[in-house]
């Protein structure tokens, strides 16, 4: 069974991303097509990007990067659980993406977003542009949660029927892409050769 990581992108103390991500992981498990793991970025405590080498080289010097690389490399597909900060993804999520390269290649990615009137969708649009640079395949089926506070009760996420219905549609499409991309992802290069500067010439 393919492995799906549900990545909680906010690391802010008191974040609603954790209960929303917990619900998304439960919904993914109910779908039944994936082995599901909830991956909380806060557990990885990544500093602002501090590797001396371009991630394309795969030459990591810090333990936090090696640990993050091993975790991301395990997955066949991803769901990013993202808030919207100033119409963009939170820096914690962008930073975590930037840390790595080959670990992301050829993976499909879905989005669970939340916010006010725009339900975090502006952050998702920015993320879609970012992830295609890493040859990930963002899918349009998504769970977009508007005015999220109405769905939080006693620290738990209590979705509306519409949100509950959106989740299995996203996981079904994500599974189709996971199957289609499996060979490319399995044979992805561990590091880019030649390096960026030579390739650009």
Ligand X SMILES: Cc1cc2nc3c(=O)[nH]c(=O)nc-3n(C[C@H](O)[C@H](O)[C@H](O)COP(=O)(O)O)c2cc1C
Shortest Å distance, C-beta 113 to ligand X: 9
Residue 182 in the binding site for ligand X (CB under 6 A): no
- Only one of the segments 12-20, 55-63, 97-105, 156-164 lies at the binding site for ligand X (rule: CB under 6 A); that segment is 12-20
Shortest Å distance, C-beta 22 to ligand X: 12
Q: Token digits for 148?
A: 């999220």
Residue 116 in the binding site for ligand X (CB under 6 A): yes
Residue 115 in the binding site for ligand X (CB under 6 A): yes
Contact with ligand X (CB under 6 A): which of 86, 129, 187, 197?
86
Contact with ligand X (CB under 6 A): which of 78, 85, 104, 157?
85
Residue 108 in the binding site for ligand X (CB under 6 A): no
Q: Which of 66, 58, 145 is nearest to 102 (CA)?
A: 58
Residue 46 in the binding site for ligand X (CB under 6 A): no
Distance of CA 88 to the CA centre of its chain: 14
Residue 83 in the binding site for ligand X (CB under 6 A): yes
Residue 87 in the binding site for ligand X (CB under 6 A): yes
Shortest Å distance, C-beta 93 to ligand X: 10
For residues 187 and 64, give the distance between their C-alpha atoms in angstroms, rounded to a whole number. Answer: 25
CA atoms within 13 A on the CB side of 127: 36
Judged on CB neighbours under 10 Å (0-12, 13-18, 19+), 164 is: middle
- Only one of the segments 10-18, 47-55, 173-181, 192-200 lies at the binding site for ligand X (rule: CB under 6 A); that segment is 10-18
What Å distances lie between residue 132 and 25, 36, 128, CA to CA?
Answer: 24, 23, 6
Residue 103 in the binding site for ligand X (CB under 6 A): no
Integer distance in angstroms from the first to the last C-alpha of the chain? Answer: 41
In the chain, the DSSP E strands lie at 3-8, 35-40, 77-82, 108-114, 137-145, 152-153, 156-157
Binding site for ligand X (CB under 6 A): 10, 12, 15-17, 83-87, 115-116, 118
């Amino acid at each position: 069974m393919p492995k799906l990581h549900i990545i909680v992108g906010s690391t802010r103390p008191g974040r609603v991303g954790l209960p929303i991500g917990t619900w998304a992981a439960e919904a993914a498990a109910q779908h039944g097509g994936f082995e599901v793991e909830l991956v909380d970025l806060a557990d990885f405590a990544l500093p602002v990007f501090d590797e001396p080498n371009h991630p394309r080289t795969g030459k990591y010097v810090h333990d936090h990067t090696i640990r993050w690389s091993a975790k991301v490399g395990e997955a066949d597909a991803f769901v990013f659980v993202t808030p919207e900060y100033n119409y963009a993804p939170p820096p914690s999520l962008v930073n975590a993406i930037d840390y790595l390269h080959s670990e992301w290649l050829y993976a499909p990615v879905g989005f669970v977003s939340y916010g006010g009137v725009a339900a975090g969708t502006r952050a998702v649009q920015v993320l879609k542009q970012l992830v295609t640079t890493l040859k990930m395949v963002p899918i349009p089926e998504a769970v977009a949660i508007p005015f999220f506070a109405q769905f939080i009760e006693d620290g738990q996420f209590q979705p509306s029927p519409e949100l509950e219905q959106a989740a299995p549609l996203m996981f079904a499409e994500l599974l189709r892409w996971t199957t289609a991309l499996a060979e490319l992802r399995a044979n992805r290069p561990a590091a880019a050769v030649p390096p960026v500067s030579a390739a650009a010439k």
